[in-house]
């Protein structure tokens, strides 16, 4: 009798041990699945068996995550999409009657944002849907300023073709040429110069694009500006000419500036 009780007890304990191990394996599997799922985009996690079978036959279907959502696109999401290059979101917002000129607290529109990031397709879509091309943000920057800040020649050309003003100044009195010079993309600077911008226009500090180019050691742009009439001895409000801003280590720049010795030009009043 005692042997039967002992055998039954051992059997129960063995069964409980197996159940514990089974539960442990199940928990570990759930943890691994959770970790793996958290690294995957939501549209993958939400796939069911029919979708998986379809992907096995035909490959994954590429979709914008936002396209899986229903309902209207919020202004915040629309503006964010312009930065991220998610044209499907932009198109849906506009198709639902959203204004292309909505802006954030800094008065920056989707056009400003897309221009900065270089999303030509989004820029064109916004303009085709009525975006104001020279809309100014709180710093009076236009999309052209932002495209130059991003260094995107394709966007600069598109904005110009659509009628953007290349000569508007922001609150610091910087022109797109000033901004492009500071960014250092010579192709953008060359395009602006070839389209008739004033190479000697001054900002609030009295600096021309040449002042900026020397200060930032944009050697190729320095030569370009001088070739197209940049005044090497124009004084800013601090009484400094571009030549005065040359550092000792900027031997190449100093050599270029010393090739000509025009009369000093005072800051216009």
Q: How far is CA 126 from CA 94, 129, 221, 241, in A?
A: 8, 5, 32, 42
Mean pLDDT computed over 246-264: 62
Q: Is the pLDDT of residue 42 over 70?
A: no
Mean pLDDT value across the chain = 82
Looking at the fold, whether 152 and 211 belong to one and the same domain comes out as no
Q: Is the pLDDT of residue 260 over 80?
A: no
Looking at the fold, whether 215 and 241 belong to one and the same domain comes out as yes
Q: Is residue 100 part of a domain?
A: yes
pLDDT of residue 157: 99
Q: Is residue 3 part of a domain?
A: no
Mean pLDDT computed over 53-73: 55
Query: Per-residue confidence at 155, pLDDT binned at 50, 70, 90?
Result: very high
Mean pLDDT computed over 67-95: 90
Give the whole-angstrom CA distance, residue 175 versus residue 171: 10
Q: Which residue has the higher pLDDT, 28 or 75?
A: 75
Q: Is residue 117 part of a domain?
A: yes
Residues whose CB is less than 8 angstroms from the CB of residue 214 and which lie 6 or more positions away in sequence, other chains included: 222, 242, 243, 245, 246, 250, 253, 257
Query: Per-residue confidence at 39, pLDDT binned at 50, 70, 90?
Result: very low
pLDDT of residue 46: 45
Least confidently predicted of 120-124, 160-164, 244-248: 244-248
Looking at the fold, whether 104 and 159 belong to one and the same domain comes out as yes
Name the pTM for this structure: 0.70
Domain boundary, last residue among 165, 195, 215: 165
| Number of domains within the chain | 2
Looking at the fold, whether 124 and 203 belong to one and the same domain comes out as no
Q: Is residue 63 part of a domain?
A: no
Domain holding 176: CATH number?
Answer: 1.25.40.20
Q: Which residue has the higher pLDDT, 54 or 17?
A: 17
Q: Is residue 92 part of a domain?
A: yes
Q: Is residue 35 part of a domain?
A: no
pLDDT, one tens digit per residue, over 94-148 is 999 999 999 999 999 999 999 999 999 999 999 999 999 999 999 999 999 999 9
Q: Is residue 56 part of a domain?
A: no
Q: Is the pLDDT of residue 19 over 90?
A: no
Q: Which residue has the higher pLDDT, 181 or 69?
A: 181
Q: Are 63 and 57 in contact (CB under 8 A)?
A: no
Q: Which residue has the higher pLDDT, 35 or 252?
A: 252
Q: Is the pLDDT of residue 255 over 70?
A: no
Q: Which residue range is the domain that position 95 belongs to?
A: 72-165
pLDDT of residue 71: 80
Q: Which residue has the higher pLDDT, 237 or 15?
A: 237
Mean pLDDT computed over 231-247: 90
How would you classify residue 184: left for phi > 0, otherwise alpha for psi between -120 and 50, otherwise beta? Answer: left
For the ranges 10-19, 169-178, 216-225, the one whose mean pLDDT is highest: 169-178
């Amino acid at each position: 009798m005692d042997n039967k009780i002992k055998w039954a007890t051992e059997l129960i304990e063995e069964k409980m041990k197996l159940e514990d191990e089974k539960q442990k394996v199940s928990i570990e599997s759930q943890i691994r699945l959770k970790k793996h799922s958290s690294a995957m985009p939501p549209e993958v996690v939400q796939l069911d068996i029919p979708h998986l079978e379809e992907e096995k036959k035909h490959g994954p279907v590429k979709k914008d995550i936002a396209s899986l959502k229903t309902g209207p696109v919020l202004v915040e999401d629309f503006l964010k999409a312009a930065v991220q290059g998610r044209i499907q979101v932009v198109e849906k917002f506009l198709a639902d009657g959203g204004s292309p000129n909505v802006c954030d607290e800094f008065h920056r529109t989707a056009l400003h944002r897309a221009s900065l990031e270089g999303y030509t397709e989004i820029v064109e879509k916004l303009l085709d849907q009525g975006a104001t091309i020279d809309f100014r943000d709180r710093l009076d920057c236009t999309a052209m300023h932002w495209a130059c800040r991003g260094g995107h020649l394709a966007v600069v050309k598109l904005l110009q073709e659509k009628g953007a003003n290349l000569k508007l100044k922001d609150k610091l009195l910087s022109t797109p040429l000033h901004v492009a010079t500071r960014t250092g993309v010579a192709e953008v600077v060359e395009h602006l110069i070839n389209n008739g911008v004033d190479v000697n226009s001054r900002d609030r500090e009295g600096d021309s694009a040449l002042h900026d180019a020397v200060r930032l050691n944009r050697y190729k742009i320095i030569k370009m500006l001088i070739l197209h009439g940049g005044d090497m001895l124009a004084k800013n409000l601090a009484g400094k000419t571009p030549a005065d801003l040359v550092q000792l280590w900027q031997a190449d720049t100093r050599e270029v500036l010393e090739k000509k010795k025009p009369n000093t030009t005072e800051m216009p009043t």
